[in-house]
Amino acid sequence: MDNSTSTRPPGLTGLWIRGREFLGVETPIIAGAMTWISDSRFAAAVSNAGAFGCLAAGNMPPDQLDEEISRVRDLTDRPFAVNLITIAPHYRELLAVAAARNVPFIVFAGSYPRGPEIRLAKQSGARVLSFAANESTARRLISSGVDALILEGSEAGGHVGHVSLGILLQQVLRRIDDVPVFVAGGIASGWYIAHLLLMGAAGVQLGTAFVMTEECGVHPHVQRAFARARARDAVATPQISSQLKVVAVRTLRNQGLEDFNRLQMELVSARRDKRISHTEAQAKVEEFWVGALRRAAREGDVDFGSVMAGQSVGLVDRVLPLREMLDELTADAESELRRAAERLRAAGPDRPADG
């Protein structure tokens, strides 16, 4: 581990020591897994920069995941995770590949993993992280063997829940200390990271901010769209009807989003007329997002593709080298901790009210 961290103020070192030790990294900032973006090259680059890289399994075939894991190991000897979407078509086969390859960390996303799936991951030697949306789910996951939790607020990009990070911090973070808890959603400054650590977070997860790095392989058109966007431009997709289950996706508003809303109405009508089954309708929803996301991330179609972004897109407007971005976040966090300490000293000790 890089000994340069010994020069940092004790405050930051002490606050995120739990996250550093759990992940085995210098900087416990997780690069959230992004389909078509978080490939082996980018995951390794993040880990080599001192943070925590995640390989997005997404909807890839099992043999491709096997190759990607090998590439990550060729590019770095540092810890990394494989992110598995529990509702993906090849999910169980992908889990089997990750377990067989003894990856150091497995992150379950999309929905909640079942007990046998968690056990399989842990029996392979992996440390297991899972997303949790409330306290009861968090405790159930912990009792099933999950080693750490990720709280992701609706401010995040991609597939998101319906609760903001501010609520999750109060519902879950303040009540859970059994395992390390990492937080995500709307984070793009060291100022915010400092306060999240003070609240008890072991570390954080960022997605949108990592897209704005030189090492990210996303199409440059996407980075330019991010630089122009405001926070309110990143919107969550609505569910048109209860007849069609749609997991909210936060993406930049464009023609592709309008096309998706129109697709939903067509599928609901087809379901009502019994021209398509529920399973077929759901498959078409997933096919839309897989294709639209690829068109944006790989081909640069920011008009008709899905430009998934969190609301923190309104806080990022420059493309930086990974190491520089991480250094800026760390320096900003250290500065805010010093400022907070000065404010507390200036406030002085509490005194009983007169009379």
Q: Which CATH architecture best describes the domain 3-217+317-340?
A: Alpha-Beta Barrel (3.20)
Give me the pLDDT at residue 106, please. 98
For residue 35, give both structure tokens.
Answer: 């389909």
Question: What are the two backbone dihedrals, phi and then psi, of residue 23, each rounded to the nearest 5 degrees?
Answer: -85, -20
- Nearest CA to 82 among 124, 20, 114? 124
pLDDT surpasses 80 at 351: no
Distance of CA 28 to the CA centre of its chain: 13
Find the range with the poorest average confidence among 49-53, 258-262, 307-311, 323-327: 258-262
SS (H, E, C) the chain: CCHHHHHCCHHHHHHCHHHHHHHCCCCCEEECCCCCCCCHHHHHHHHHCCCEEEEECCCCCHHHHHHHHHHHHHHCCCCEEEEEECCCCCHHHHHHHHHHCCCCEEEEECCCCCHHHHHHHHHCCCEEEEECCCHHHHHHHHHCCCCEEEEECCCCCEECCCCCHHHHHHHHHCCCCCCCEEEECCCCCHHHHHHHHHCCCCEEEECHHHHCECCCCCCHHHHHHHHHCCHHHEEECCCCCCCCCCCCEEEECCHHHHHHHHHHHHHHHHHHCCCCCHHHHHHHHHHHHHHHHHHHHCCCCCCCCCCECCHHHHHCCCCECHHHHHHHHHHHHHHHHHHHHHHHHHHCCCCCCCC
8 Å CB contact between 276 and 244: no
Give me the pLDDT at residue 224, please. 98
- 291-348, pLDDT tens digit by residue? 899 999 999 999 999 999 999 999 999 999 999 999 999 999 999 999 999 998 888 8
Give me the pLDDT at residue 200, please. 96
pLDDT surpasses 90 at 56: yes
Give me the pLDDT at residue 110, please. 86
Higher-scoring residue by pLDDT: 218, 348: 218
pLDDT surpasses 60 at 186: yes
Give me the pLDDT at residue 5, please. 43
8 Å CB contact between 90 and 127: no
| Dist CA 273 CA 130 (whole Å) | 39
200 Ramachandran zone, left/alpha/beta (phi>0; psi -120 to 50): left
Over residues 222-237, the mean pLDDT reads: 96
**Dihedral over alpha carbons 235, 318, 81, 137 (to 10 degrees):** -30
Give me the pLDDT at residue 213, please. 98
Q: CATH 3.20.20.70 residue ranges in the chain?
A: 3-217+317-340
8 Å CB contact between 156 and 310: yes
What share of the chain in percent tops pLDDT 90? 79
| pLDDT band (50, 70, 90) for residue 353 | low
232 contacts: CB under 8 Å, gap ≥ 6: 311, 314
| Dist CA 155 CA 134 (whole Å) | 16
What share of the chain in percent tops pLDDT 70? 96
| pLDDT band (50, 70, 90) for residue 286 | confident
Give me the pLDDT at residue 191, please. 97
Cα atoms in the 13 Å half-sphere on the side-chain side of 93:
12
- 132-181, pLDDT tens digit by residue? 989 999 999 999 999 999 999 999 999 888 899 999 999 999 999 999 99
| pLDDT band (50, 70, 90) for residue 2 | very low
For residue 24, give both structure tokens.
Answer: 């085995």
For residue 80, give both structure tokens.
Answer: 């990394």
Give me the pLDDT at residue 240, please. 82
Over residues 214-242, the mean pLDDT reads: 94
For residue 214, give both structure tokens.
Answer: 């030189």
pLDDT surpasses 80 at 93: yes
Determine how many CB atoms are found less than 10 A away from the CB of residue 100.
12
